[in-house]
Amino acid sequence: MNWNDGRAHAALIAMWEAAVTAADPLTCLAPHLPEPPAKGRIIVVGAGKAAAKMALAVETAWAHLPLSGLVVTTHGADLPNPPANRRIAVRFGNHPTPDAQGAEAAAEMLAMVQGLTADDLVLALISGGGSSLSTLPAPGLTLDDMIAVNRELLRSGAPISAMNCVRKHLSVFSGGRLAAAAHPARVVTLAISDVPGDDPGTIASGPTVPDATTFAEARAIVARYGMTLPAVAQAQLEAAAVESPKTLSNASFHLIATPMMALHAMAKAARAHGLTPLILGDALEGEARHLGTVLAGIALSAASHGQPLPGPCVLLSGGETTVTIPAGIQGSGGRSTECLLGMALALKAHPRIWALCADTDGIDGRSNAAGAWLTPHTLDQSSLNAQTCLDTHTSYALFENAGTLLITGPTLTNVNDVRAVIIG
């Protein structure tokens, strides 16, 4: 059977849905729950785009246990039909720029875990997006200062690990400080990774794990990427008064879903559609448009020479790219659509290559789309100039015009961006 737009689209969507399902807290969380305490309280806290669904998974699995707590997720990322009598409260904050509601939720969680005993259990539910959602400024800093810092971080083009290093050293919540506040209670973290390498200290800026980074590293990152921080934030980094905790005797950490797990699920779906999958990696980083060009080059090699494998096949990858936006440009879309547009220009409408790039949380950048898909005809179907859209960071507008945006709404999970490139 020959490959065409319809068949390729069906396979791409099946792979996308497999990735999201693999990271669904309702299926992957319960087996990782710790032994509940013989006596003492259970306090549940959490932050991230998957927080509401993770909290539901805990309430469902521990329906017979007394528990209380609070998690914070993004505005609009609540359950479609939330329970009437929640034991774990759900608050909402902004992402990727912090807001007052998120800061208030972080302060409330920090207060909840203080004054506990060694008999108590703090269950922390952590997922991507938690850094912004739980922004709680260090003494001397205001929320407005942190909003300015966050905007500078997003503008810089720095990788997520570098951005979170800076965040951790301007916070009283991140970088292990939440777990330190809970001592001597046992702190068990269940996490859904959205970062390259699944580093626990980078996921949501690691509020419950020891922090290996330092004030000196944070200062070096600010200098390397030419960031201009508010004076009080720069002074905080220079003073280096209270370093983040480097050891935490009361804390343990467990990954329940990762980008690689999602890619393996995509590979299984690909085989069901008659495609040979090749996973290129789960930690592909760099400028989004440049990665798109690289993926196009590999796909063209497969189409022309059967290397690294012959068609019908699919190249799968994950990881968080960056989009460096010059001053004065607003842009539209996010990493995924910019990566796909860079790929489209390099493919030059190759008749046997289709692709999808999307963020598994259902939100690419600040847009209402998870990402988009590409056919050999997509650029012709748009009335907009592709190179101009790439130069002005308006990739969303092009795919919207072409009718190939992937709009799912919040998925209530997050294992970062996934990409599938089919060679028919």
* CATH code for the domain of 326: 3.40.1480.10
Same domain for 414 and 357, yes or no, is yes
Model confidence band, residue 340 (pLDDT cutoffs 50, 70, 90): very high
Q: What CATH number did the domain enclosing 188 receive?
A: 3.40.50.10180
- On the question of pLDDT at 365 being above 80, the answer is yes
CA distances for 417 relative to 68, 189, 320, 397, angstroms: 33, 23, 6, 19
Determine the pLDDT at residue 231: 98
Whether residue 56 is found in the same domain as residue 81:
yes
- Report CA torsion sign: 402, 406, 408, 413: negative
Residue 329 reports pLDDT greater than 80: no
Residue 88 within a domain? yes
Helices 288-305 and 335-347: crossing angle, nearest 10°? 40
Q: What percent of the chain has pLDDT over 90?
A: 91
Same domain, residue pair 246 and 300: no
CA distance 413 to 358: 13
Q: Domain ends where: 241, 257, 273? A: 257
Strands 405-406 and 371-374, bridge-based pairing: antiparallel
Whether 26 is in a domain gets the answer no
Same domain? For 80 and 193 the reply is yes
What's the rounded Cα separation, in Å, for the pair 22 and 335? Answer: 22
CA distances in angstroms from 300 to 4, 343, 358, 373, 421, listed in the order given: 17, 11, 21, 17, 10
Q: Are 290 and 415 in a shared domain?
A: yes
- Of all residues in the chain, the percent with pLDDT exceeding 70 is 100
pTM of the model: 0.90
| pLDDT at site 110 | 98
Closest by Cα among 68, 26, 79 to 45: 68
Same-domain check for residues 155 and 245? yes
* Domain identity same for 230 and 279: no
Average pLDDT over residues 56-62: 97
Q: Answer whether 218's CB lies under 8 Å from 237's CB.
A: yes
Q: pLDDT (tens digit, 9 = 90+) per residue, 140-152?
A: 999 999 999 999 9
Picking from 220, 239, 257, the residue at the C-terminal end of a domain is 257
Question: SS3 string of 284-301?
Answer: CCCEHHHHHHHHHHHHHH
Question: Are residues 283 and 364 both part of a single domain?
Answer: yes
pLDDT single digits (tens) 127-141: 999 999 999 999 999
Mean pLDDT of 63-80: 95
What average pLDDT does the structure give for the chain?
A: 96
Three-state SS at 111: helix
Domain of residue 298, residue span: 5-21+260-423
Residues 124 and 83 grouped into a single domain: yes
Task: Confirm whether 48 is domain-assigned.
Answer: yes
Averaged pLDDT, 243-259: 97
Q: Within this chain, do residues 116 and 229 fall inside the same structural domain, yes or no?
A: yes
Where is the domain boundary, 224, 257, 290?
257
- The confidence score (pLDDT) of residue 155 equals 87
Confidence of residue 84 (pLDDT cuts 50, 70, 90): confident
Q: Tokens for 28?
A: 């992957």
Average pLDDT over residues 242-263: 97
d(CA 330, CA 389): 12
Closest CA to 91 of 121, 124, 133: 133
Per-residue CA distances from 176 to 57, 189, 230 (Å):
24, 11, 24
The reply to whether 112 and 197 lie within a common domain is yes
Cα–Cα distance for residue pair 287/291, rounded to 1 Å = 6
Count of the separate structural domains present in the chain: 2
Is residue 27 situated within a structural domain? no
Q: Is residue 1's pLDDT more than 90?
A: no
28 occurs within a structural domain: no
Cα(316)–Cα(245) distance, integer angstroms = 37
Identify the band that residue 233 occupies on the pLDDT scale cut at 50, 70 and 90: very high
State yes or no: pLDDT of 333 exceeds 80. no
Residue 91 contacts residue 70 (beta carbons within 8 Å): yes
pLDDT in tens, 9-28: 999 999 999 999 999 999 99
- For residues 54 and 163, membership in a common domain is answered with yes
SS3 category, 32: helix
Q: Residues with Cβ < 8 Å from 6, sequence gap 6 or more? A: none
